[in-house]
Amino acid sequence: MRGNVFIAGLGLIGGSLAKAIKKAHPQAHIIGFDVRESELGLAEALNIIDEQAVSFEEGAKKADLIILAVPVLKTEQMIEIIAGLHLKEGVLVTDTGSTKSRIMKRASLLSEKGIAFIGGHPMAGSHKSGVAASKELLFENAFYLLTPGSAAEEKHVAILKKWLDGTRAKILEVTAEEHDEMTGVISHFPHIIAASLVHQARKYNQENPLIERLAAGGFRDITRIASSNPEMWKDISLHNKEMLLTLLTNWRDEMNEVLSILETEDEDKLYRYFNEAKTFRDGLPAASKGAIPAFYEMYVDVPDYPGVISELTGYLADERISITNIRIVETRDDVFGVLVISFQSEEDRHRAKHCIEQKTTYDLFLA
Ligand SMILES: NC(=O)C1=CN([C@@H]2O[C@H](COP(=O)(O)OP(=O)(O)OC[C@H]3O[C@@H](n4cnc5c(N)ncnc54)[C@H](O)[C@@H]3O)[C@@H](O)[C@H]2O)C=CC1
Ligand SMILES: O=C(O)C(=O)Cc1ccc(O)cc1
């Protein structure tokens, strides 16, 4: 497709969409805007955008497609600004916000003027932010939820889907209310719990600093999302306040129930509590991406000597297997360390396993 695509907010999501759109539509002209000049400059230097907009308004006026990829309270402000501009005939406006009800309400300002607004939420991402973390295939196989506004006709949705071809996401239409209920349960509420677990560990750590050193493995895994951008999650929580209040109340009741099971040492109930959770968790789809994306990690027990990381990454590079992240867990002078290597796909992870098994005697396992 040809045309000007204006992306406001060149962070993880704006940058990833710019890359995916450029890949599928090389003729598209991508104009970018960000309040942070560093991100804007980096996006241009990395050829993620073709042009920097002089201002938000100037970028919006030139666009055939406007994508708002900023924290959700800012998205509302941008919709208001757009509603007051003289835009190009036939322009499509969409966003990437993690919430939809308040955005769709604000977008009625556009619908009233006959401007097609289609709410959007690519349900993949990470705890990282910024254009440097953006990836062309961030949304591959992930769900991409759309909430068309009242002025958005089927043909508009079809055009937006075409623009989004390069994301290789699974696009679904839902209502804004359904959206906020579902994402409240599986994404927004877990972020609050992850943050609360970290707060709890932080408080106990003040008394006993060994906690911080022991907090590897499982604790790191379930609290990874607590490392996400605080501004973004402040906005999301305020936007989905009602749902989060309901979930918090239900959770408090459930914790009270667990408290009483423990107090009375009711073994049957305790067993059932864990077993029912395990059964549902084990039945969740494994390899496809959800709001909390799958990470393809491989754990390698390595001796703690200099050069071991370059030895392993060297073997993987020889086989042209790309890694997306590498970290060391629990290295102490007297024990083996665990190297956690992440890959883009299950296929890469299996090739890596085969490669390392062939070339070394280190123990490894896939989590
Ligand atoms: N991070 C994630 O995993 C996901 C985030 N989202 C949603 O996408 C949106 C963007 O999130 P990310 O890209 O992760 O955040 P980010 O922090 O990586 O990028 C947001 C960018 O917007 C810019 N920005 C903020 N206010 C602005 C303004 N008034 N004008 C112009 N630029 C402005 C920031 O400087 C930043 O570069 C948010 O609404 C978020 O809820 C959706 C799916 C996944
Ligand atoms: O890092 C993670 O696992 C996430 O939870 C990513 C994420 C963040 C916000 C969304 O609206 C969707 C996905």
How far apart CA 98 and CA 232 sit, in angstroms, is 9
Q: How confident is the model at residue 19 (pLDDT cuts 50, 70, 90)?
A: very high
Show the CA angle centred on residue 28, arms to residues 103 and 152, nearest 5°. 35
Q: Domain 179-282 adopts which CATH fold?
A: 6-phosphogluconate dehydrogenase C-terminal fold (1.10.3660)
- The mean per-residue pLDDT over the stretch 155-172 comes to 97
Give percent above pLDDT 90 in the chain.
77
Ligand 1 centroid–CA 14 distance in Å is 7
pLDDT-derived band at 120 (thresholds 50, 70, 90) equals: very high
The three-point CA angle 264-269-275 to 5° equals 140
Q: What is the pLDDT of residues 196-212, one digit of tens each?
A: 999 999 999 999 999 99
Distance between Cα 202 and ligand 1 center (Å): 28
In this prediction, residue 344 has a pLDDT band, given cuts at 50, 70 and 90, of: confident
Q: What does the domain layout of the chain look like in residue ranges?
A: 3-174, 179-282, 296-366
Which ligand 2 atom sits nearest the alpha carbon of residue 126? 1
Decide if 62 contacts 87 (C-beta within 8 A): no
* CB 243 near ligand 1, within 6 Å: no
Q: What is the pLDDT of residues 307-323, one digit of tens each?
A: 888 889 999 999 999 88
Whole-number pLDDT of residue 286: 67
pLDDT in tens, 29-39: 999 999 999 99
333, two tokens: 């002078």
Calculate helix-pair angle for 230-239, 72-83, nearest 10 degrees. 70
The pLDDT score that the predictor gives to residue 86 is 96
Atom of ligand 1 nearest to the CA of 96: 8
Residue 331 scores a pLDDT above 50 = no
What is the reported pLDDT for 308? 83
- How many CB atoms are located within 10 Å of the residue 306 CB? 6
For 246, phi and psi rounded to 5 degrees? -60, -45
Model pLDDT, residue 289: 54
Q: Kindly indicate the confidence band of residue 50, based on its pLDDT and cuts at 50, 70 and 90.
A: very high
Confidence tier at 332 by pLDDT (50, 70, 90) = very low
CA atoms within 13 A on the CB side of 65: 28
Phi, psi of 82 (to 5 degrees): -60, -40
Confidence of residue 249 (pLDDT cuts 50, 70, 90): very high
Question: What is the reported pLDDT for 293?
Answer: 53
Q: Give the number of the atom of ligand 2 that is nearest the alpha carbon of residue 124.
A: 13
Residue nearest to atom 3 of ligand 2 (CA): 292
12 CA from centroid of ligand 1 (Å): 7
pLDDT at 335: 47
Q: What is the CATH number of domain 296-366?
A: 3.30.2130.10
Q: Which residue has the higher pLDDT, 50 or 141?
A: 50
318 or 304, higher pLDDT: 318
As a whole number, mean pLDDT of residues 253-282 equals 97
Distance of alpha carbon 194 from alpha carbon 358, whole angstroms? 38
Reported pTM: 0.84
Phi, psi (deg, nearest 5) at residue 250:
-65, -40
Is any atom of ligand 1 closer than 6 Å to the C-beta of 10? yes
Q: Are 338 and 302 in contact (CB under 8 A)?
A: yes
Q: For the chain, how big is the Rg over CA atoms in Å?
A: 23
Using 50, 70 and 90 to split pLDDT, how confident is the model at 294? low
- Compute CA 12 distance to the chain's CA centroid, rounded to the nearest angstrom: 8
d(CA 311, CA 314): 5
Identify the three-state secondary structure at position 326: strand
The CATH class of 3-174 is alpha beta
E strands in the chain: 3-8, 28-33, 51-52, 65-68, 92-95, 116-122, 143-148, 170-173, 296-302, 323-329, 337-343, 364-366
Which pLDDT band holds residue 367 (cuts at 50, 70, 90)?
low
Evaluate whether 179-282 and 296-366 have a shared fold.
Answer: no
CB 126 near ligand 2, within 6 Å: yes
Instruction: Write down the mean pLDDT value for the chain.
Output: 92
Whose CA is closest to atom 8 on ligand 2? 125
Q: Give the mutation target among 44, 58, 70 for probing the ligand 1 site: most ligand atoms within 8 A of CB.
A: 70
Residue 334: pLDDT band (50, 70, 90) is very low
**Cβ contact 130:34 at 8 Å:** no
